[in-house]
Each structure stands twice: as C-alpha cells, then as structure tokens.
Amino acid sequence: MSEAKLEAWLDETRSFAPSPAFAKQANAQPSIYADAAADPVSWWRKEAGRLLWEKEPTNTLEWDLPFAKWFSDGTLNASVNCVDRHVAAGKGDKVAYYWVGDAEGESRTITYGELQVMVNKATNALIEMGVKKDDRVAVYMPMIPEAVVAMLAIVRLGAAHSVVFAGFSADALSSRILDSDCTYVVTADGAFRRGAASPLKPAVDEALQTCPNVKGVLVVRRTGGEVEWTEGRDHWWHEIVERQSDEHTPEFFPSEQTMIIMYTSGTTAKPKGIFHTTGGYLTQVASTYNYVFDVKPETDICWTAADIGWITGHSYIIYGPLINGVTQIMYEGVPDSGGKDRWWRIIEQFKATILYTAPTTIRTLMKWGHDLPQAHDLSSLRLLGTVGEPINPEAWMWYREYVGGNRCPIVDTWWQTETGAILISPLPGITATKPGAAMRALPGVGVDVVDNDGNSVGNGEGGYLVITHPWPSMTRGIYGDPERFKETYWTRFPGKYFAGDGAKRDDDGDLWLLGRIDDVMNISGHRLSTTEVEHALVGHPAVAEAAVVGASDETTGQAIVAFVTLKASGADAAKDQVVVIEELRMHVAKVISPIAKPRQIILTPELPKTRSGKIMRRLLRDVAENRSLGDVTTLTDPTVVNMIAELMGTEAGSED
Ligand code: PRX
C-alpha cells in the first residue's frame, strides 16, 4: 500500500474486524472479558489450573501493596510443568524444538522426551557442581538448546537463573553477577553470527576477576575456539553433563519461590534486578500464550523470534510455550544469516503457523523488500504478533499484507520485563485490530490511562499508563532493593503501578501505547537508560560531561545520540575528533554492549543548562530530531543550543 493510500485508509477505516472463521475456532470466546471482570482473582485461580501442582493452592492473592503473593500455599516445579508432565502424558515423541542454527543447513530436532533427558542430566551436573535451592545462577549463552536446558535445570533445583544477554560486555556481566550474588555461571565458548564465531568465555573469565563468590562455570562447546581454563572452577558441558544419569526426581517448591532474575534498565545508571516467582508467573505466561496466540498444541508450529537473553525469550520461547506443550522453532542467527530471505525460508521449511517478533525486525525485513517474502510459501502462517515497542502503521500493514497474506490476525502485545507476561493485546477472533494499537487490557488485567493527578482520561485523550490491580506474573520486586521498587513504580500514582509509558485512548476507547515518558530509551526493542550510557561515557578519561537522548530512528525505533564535552587539558584534546568519537563509541560498547553504541556523538564545548544547572534534554532531543526548538529562555546561555545544532549539521533553530 502506498503511503498516501495508507493514510487515506487509516483516516477512513482504521480497523479490521475479527475474522468470523478465526472466531469459530478461537481459544478465547467473547464472554471471557466479562467472566474475568466479574471476579478477577477467582478467574486467575481458575487459570492456575493450567499448571501441574504438587499441592493445589487454597490461597489466591495476598496483597500488601505493592507486594503481592499468588497461590502461596501451593507447591510445584517449573521444570516438571514444562517437560515431565508432557512425557508422562504420552507426548514424549512430540517435537519441542526445531532448532535452526546460524549456519545454513544446521538444525536439531528435540522431542519432549529428549528434552527431559537433557534437563535431567544437566540438573544432575549442576548438583555435582554444588548448585542448591535458592542459589542464583548466571546464564550467558547463545541461542542454542543448551541455554533452554540450563534454565530448566536451574529452576528444577529451586535455584533462580539470571540470564544476561550474550551481547552484553564483561563489565555488564560482572555487575549483574555481583548484584544478585550469583555463585555459578553457565556459558559457551562462543557464539555464531552470520557464519563468524565470536568468543563468549573470555568475557566470563574477565567478569569473574571481580566476582570471587563464583564457584563453578559450566561451558558448552559451541564454536570449538580456544579457551582459557580455570581448573576446579570450569567444567565442560560435554564432560560433566553427558556422564550423568538421565533420571532426576524433582522436588517441589512453594509458589513464591524465586525463579527468574532479569536485569533491565531503569532511569538510573544501575540496571534493576527484576525478579519473578514461580506459580503466578507460570500461570500468566501459560494463560496468555494460550489466549493471545490461540495455540493449538497438536498442530501449531510456533516461532517466537527473540533472544532468551530478554524477557520475551523467557516467557514465550521457554515457559509459556513449553507449559502449553507446543512445537517451536528456535533460531540462533540474525535475520540475514545466510541471506536476506532466511526467515522466509525457515517459515516455509517448518510450516510455521505463528510468528512473534519486534517491530524493529519487521522494519528491517520491510527494507529488504516484499519480493523476498513473496517468493516463498508462507501460507502456513495463521497468526502474527509484535512486541517491544510501538509499531508504526506502515510496518503493521506490511506485516499484515506481505507476511500474513491479509488473512492472519496481528496481536500487538504490550508488556514489560516487570509485568512478566502480556497485559495489553487484542484477542484473535474477538477484538478488532488497528494498525499501531495494542487495543485493550487482557481478561483479568486492570489498566487505565491517567492524567498528571491520577484521574482517568476520557476517550480521545492521552496520559500515563497505569495498572490498577495486582496480576499473577507481576514482578515481586527489585532484587535486594524493596525501597527502589516502591519508589520506582508505586509512588507516582499512589496505589497504582506506573509503567513508565505514555498512552492514549482513541475515540472508541482503544489503547495506543506511545513509548516511554522517562529517561528509558528503546533501541531496536532493547531497553537502555540515558543515564546508563552517560555514565559509561563520563567513565572515559577524556570526557568531562555527557548528555544522552533517544532520537527517533526509522529502523531501530530510537537511536542513541550523545552530546559530549571533553576535558580541555586531556591528552585526547589534541586528537582528531573522528578518532575520539570512534574511541568513545567503542568504549560504550565495551562498558555496556555494542547495542548501546551511540549512533552519533557530538563533541561540543558546552551543554545547554538551565540556571539551576540541569541539562535541558528536551532541547537536545529536539536538536537530535531536527525539530524547531521551543522555549529556551530558561537557559543560562541560549546560544549554546544553536551552536550544537550547527555542530550536528541540522537546521534546528530557536523559535525566538
Ligand atoms: O515502552 C514499552 C515497550 O517496551 C517497554 C518494556 O521493555 P522490556 O522490559 O525490555 O520488555 C520488552 C518485551 C516485553 C515498555 O515499557 N513496549 C513493549 N511492548 C510494546 C511496547 N511499546 C508499545 N507497544 C508494545 N506492544
């Protein structure tokens, strides 16, 4: 659809009615909203029946705002729920994962029966290494089946995994290991990306120099590269795991046993260790996977194209799908490993029925042209999903037309690391969809859009997104910092969870998510805080001061733009600016991750500040996005912004 046509269509029609054919066979029926609203807590208790409990809970919600407990007297084992129960039900031969490697032609098929053996052996290996209930184990792994196996083995023991995205640096890994005092690490020698091997183990070795409490490291051989070895601490997976018994009798743990720690960026330099417990988290990921993706375990082939290093991978590559007993595709590579049509070939080969990915990837695939998806048979697809950032209508329409063949419903799912599971999304077959709108809260979830004073806004108005009731998969807090948890989420609007997102209700009352309203940036669906990047920049000896903003970017949603002043007398002052800028970009990549590398760094003699000394980020964002500047009268020196705009080569100018 051309841009003009799209705009005309959006003006006139704006929505797609649910397909009657889909509605007939959908897992969710329209009465679901009213059923849940009548008594949400009891409704969630019913949903908890999706799990296999050793002891059925009699408690449902205990709510001591902002601390929730769900199903607290129930006992269960997460790993048994994902694997053993399906084998016990006679589904051991069903495929759990079609794993597709980065390299062309490399694949593995793992059944639920085989997964059980792998998990049992890995559990026994972890026991031999000394891992116990309540321990924290860091996982720093590529997208290989052993990552899933390790995570399931860790939670099988009642320990918690803290998965650190393998793209993070040694510094980022060590700070996460230290913050939650992880005593074991599971990793690999390296990872593959577009055919090239990149090492992982050296980053672990470097990180562990500052982590004296780590007692053991379990290493999968993936690339076969040379690795340094610390005797007594390091264990090869193919040695210690492979020689274990394939039997393991599980223990059962209380519903509130911590199973996941996942670090995510907040508005300060220090990432927050968001933690999730077992019964509530598993209930809601299992329930949402069933209703939102409408999965039919007997026939669906589901592909969540995300990384296990993020919450999407946890909830919708591992726990939600496995509890539902579906068959999945797990892909190691990037979208163009082995060619720009790789994704379409994977869908065609495995006859994928459900595809879930991020808008940034859709925009990249879109840039490569619709000829590529059109050259492949994608008729197996029946539902598409997006997550991670607002999706622009153009990308939504492209996804619908060229990937979904105008027949697949699209679920635009809003959620966060903190929410554990999807909270806002259309339900296929029931809810109409609009390009760019996440539409409405799921059954059992209370969402509102409020103004500055916490009052609900009317239709056609915008405000702040809040969640009004506790939900089972809500984070139980920030690891080791209950005060920060209260302060971050529960004080802005007393009694309500403040998500940090802006939202709008349209004239029909449907929800549109508008992006973060705080200092959190969303770069290709990766969450990073401006302060975190500033902190990394000022950690460089040449830098005096830095201000970072997220500027909108056609492909990545937002991109990092940094404004930096150098120390006048530093050795770098004499260096070529291009060299300094590249050095600073590499420095940020090293301290945080290559994903945090600024797209642009502007070296400026001064930053625009208010008279009280605060950096005017709003103005910098305007400069970075090439917008005309608003009121600059509160600045100490209004000429500074014009100077910066000139340095950037933009035409932004003051309106004065
Ligand atoms: O701003 C929202 C955006 O991603 C943030 C959460 O990021 P993270 O914790 O990394 O989790 C991402 C995967 C669940 C939110 O605060 N976001 C997520 N989904 C959407 C979205 N923004 C708009 N529409 C969405 N569907």
pLDDT digits (tens, 9 = 90+) for 394-409: 999 999 999 999 999 9
Classify residue 476 by its DSSP letter: -
Q: Pick from 452, 467, 461, 464: which is nearest to 508 by CA?
A: 461
Task: Answer whether 499 contacts ligand 1 (Cβ < 6 A).
Answer: yes
Six-digit token pair at 57?
């809970």
**Positive/negative CA dihedral, 286, 291, 297, 302:** negative
**Best mutation site among 389, 517, 529 for ligand 1, i.e. most ligand atoms within 8 A of its Cβ?**
389
Beta-carbon neighbour count of residue 230 at 10 Å?
Answer: 11
CA atoms within 13 A on the CB side of 580: 22
pLDDT of res. 13? 60
Ligand 1, atom 14, lies closest to the CA of 416
Ligand 1, atom 23, lies closest to the CA of 390
Ranges of residues in the chain with a pLDDT under 50 are: 651-656
Phi, psi for 115 (deg, rounded to 5): -60, -40
Ligand 1, atom 21, lies closest to the CA of 389
pLDDT of res. 642? 77
**Best mutation site among 422, 440, 522 for ligand 1, i.e. most ligand atoms within 8 A of its Cβ?**
522
pLDDT of res. 338? 94
Task: Answer whether 419 contacts ligand 1 (Cβ < 6 A).
Answer: no
pLDDT of res. 5? 66
pLDDT digits (tens, 9 = 90+) for 80-139: 999 999 999 999 999 999 999 999 999 999 999 999 999 999 999 999 999 999 999 999
Choosing among 1.10.10.10, 3.40.50.300, 3.40.50.12780, 1.10.3720.10, the CATH entry for 3-503 is 3.40.50.12780
Task: Answer whether 563 contacts ligand 1 (Cβ < 6 A).
Answer: no
Please count the residues of the chain. 656
Domain 524-648 has CATH 3.30.300.30: yes
Ligand 1 atom at shortest distance from the alpha carbon of 415: 14
Task: Answer whether 234 contacts ligand 1 (Cβ < 6 A).
Answer: no
Task: Answer whether 501 contacts ligand 1 (Cβ < 6 A).
Answer: yes
Ligand 1 atom at shortest distance from the alpha carbon of 390: 23
Q: Pick from 533, 537, 535, 536: which is nearest to 549 by CA?
A: 533
pLDDT of res. 1? 55
Residue with tokens 């070939």: 345
d(CA 423, CA 525): 17
**Positive/negative CA dihedral, 642, 644, 647, 650:** negative
d(CA 647, CA 284): 50
Ligand 1, atom 10, lies closest to the CA of 527
pLDDT of res. 529? 87
pLDDT of res. 574? 63
Residue with tokens 């803290």: 162
Ligand 1 atom at shortest distance from the alpha carbon of 499: 16
CATH 3.40.50.12780 in the chain, residues? Answer: 3-503
d(CA 361, CA 305): 9
d(CA 180, CA 263): 10
Six-digit token pair at 578?
């291009």
Task: Answer whether 325 contacts ligand 1 (Cβ < 6 A).
Answer: no
Six-digit token pair at 548?
């970072």
CATH 3.30.300.30 in the chain, residues? Answer: 524-648
Spacing, Cα 515 to ligand 1 middle (Å): 8
**Best mutation site among 416, 418, 473 for ligand 1, i.e. most ligand atoms within 8 A of its Cβ?**
416
pLDDT of res. 652? 42
pLDDT digits (tens, 9 = 90+) for 290-324: 999 999 999 999 999 999 999 999 999 999 999 99
pLDDT of res. 570? 58
Task: Answer whether 388 contacts ligand 1 (Cβ < 6 A).
Answer: yes
Within 8 A by CB and 6+ apart from 491, the residues are none
d(CA 620, CA 609): 10
Ligand 1 atom at shortest distance from the alpha carbon of 526: 10
pLDDT of res. 653? 39
Q: Pick from 94, 87, 86: which is nearest to 111 by CA?
A: 94
pLDDT of res. 654? 38
- The per-residue b/e assignment along 324-354, b for 16 or more CB within 10 angstroms, e otherwise, is bbbbbbbbbbebebbeebbbbbbbbebebbb
607 close to 547: Cβ distance less than 8 angstroms = yes
pLDDT of res. 2? 58
